[in-house]
Chains A and B, each alone.
Chain A
Amino acid sequence: AQSVAQPEDQVNVAEGNPLTVKCTYSVSGNPYLFWYVQYPNRGLQFLLKYITGDNLVKGSYGFEAEFNKSQTSFHLKKPSALVSDSALYFCAVRARLSGGSYIPTFGRGTSLIVHP
């Protein structure tokens, strides 16, 4: 089985401050990790992914994420938050399941609110 936890339902940050949105995962085998963003009344948009290699992954809109195998975490970060970053953020994991499928599992989402 595989699972993803986003321990915070909501994260509040002031514009210009660094932000972190947390994600931890549980899989058997090597994980493939993703972050998506959802703006109101829209579908999810891909931000970045970790497949292998460098533990620090850079993505769209200035976001980055750090893969930490020992802590089984993949936290999303941005050095300086913008009001326009306010949205719902989803972490997802894919790993090989029994039977060979690779169904992705999504976290419950974290609402990021950036205050002016």
Chain B
Amino acid sequence: NAGVTQTPKFQVLKTGQSMTLQCAQDMNHNSMYWYRQDPGMGLRLIYYSASEGTTDKGEVPNGYNVSRLNKREFSLRLESAAPSQTSVYFCASSEGSIALYYEQYFGPGTRLTVT
């Protein structure tokens, strides 16, 4: 039982390049999330998916797109990377459909640097 896995662990991009961050969970959770973590800013929600086939914007969606490929997988795409997107990205999942009381399970993170 691996929980939430993310690939890659590290990535360096040049401005304007694109890439996709992959996330998968093996807990049969309905809800999945993408966050970015910046120093002094805590975690900010980029996009979330309440269930397979649905996605919604979070607090900071600009410059990102997501795909809920199936119940297990939720990918985050940067179409044209910018230095402001340098951050640590976390994927998370939880039971239920964005229900109130379910805690989230987090992946190990992807450290992205855009030069």
**Which size class do B's interface residues fall under?**
20 to 34
Residues on B with C-beta less than 8 A from A36 are 104, 106
* A8-67 at interface with B (beta carbon < 8 Å): 9, 32, 34, 36, 41-46, 49, 51
CB of A102 within 8 A of CB of B98, answer yes
Smallest CB separation, A31 vs chain B (Å): 9
Q: Is B82 an interface residue (CB 8 A)?
A: no
CB within 8 Å for A94 and B100 given contacts A43-B106, A45-B106: yes
- The A contact surface, by secondary structure, is loop
Inter-chain CA distance A106–B92, complex, in Å, is 13
* Number of chain A residues whose Cβ lies closer than 8 Å to a Cβ of chain B: 24
* 18 sample A-B contacts, Cβ–Cβ < 8 Å, listed by A number: A9-B40, A36-B106, A43-B106, A43-B107, A46-B104, A49-B103, A51-B100, A90-B42, A90-B43, A101-B50, A101-B56, A103-B98, A104-B45, A104-B104, A106-B35, A106-B42, A108-B41, A108-B42
CB within 8 Å of A: which residues of B? Answer: 4, 35, 40-45, 48, 50, 56, 58, 90, 92, 98-101, 103-109
